[in-house]
Amino acid sequence: MTFLVGDNCIKCKLTDCVEVCPVDCFYEGPNMLVIHPDECIDCALCEPECPIEAIFSEDEIPEGQEGFLELNAELAEIWPNITEKQDALPDETEWRNKPNKIELLER
C-alpha cells in the first residue's frame, strides 16, 4: 500500500510532510509534491503533517481523486526528489481548500 498527494497540494506545495518521511519518497514539481508509490513504506508519518490534508492512504482516496494515484506514480518518475522542508509558494494561502485544481497542475 502507499500514500498519495491529492488535489489540495496543487498551488500550495507545503513541504511539512517531506522532513518526516524516513525513505525520502517525495518528489517536487513546480506547484505540487507527489509520493513515489514504489518507495513509500506506508508508515503514515506524512499524513498528519500535511496542514492542508492533501495526503491520503491508497485505500482512503476521496471521491473524484482516484486519478491521483496514477498521477503520483507518473510524476515521481520525472520530478526531482525533495528531502528537506522549503518555503511555501508565495500565494499558497489564496489557494488553500479550493477544490478541483487539477487543471492548474504544472508539469
- Domain parsing of the chain, residue ranges: 3-88
Three-state DSSP at 9 gives helix
The secondary element (H helix, E strand) that includes residue 71 is helix 67-76
The pLDDT assigned to 34 comes to: 98
Q: Average pLDDT over the chain, rounded to whole?
A: 97
DSSP H or E run through 72: helix 67-76
Give the whole-angstrom CA distance, residue 56 versus residue 39: 15
- Domain 3-88 in CATH 3.20.20.80? The answer is no
Query: Which residues, 6+ apart, have CB-to-CB distance to 64 below 8 Å?
Result: none
pTM greater than 0.75:
yes
Q: For 6-32, what is the mean pLDDT?
A: 97
pLDDT at 102: 97
All three cell numbers of 45 = 508519518
Which whole number is the average pLDDT over 81-97? Answer: 95
Residue 55 or residue 97, greater confidence: 55
- Band of residue 47 on the pLDDT scale cut at 50, 70, 90: very high
CA distance 103 to 10: 9
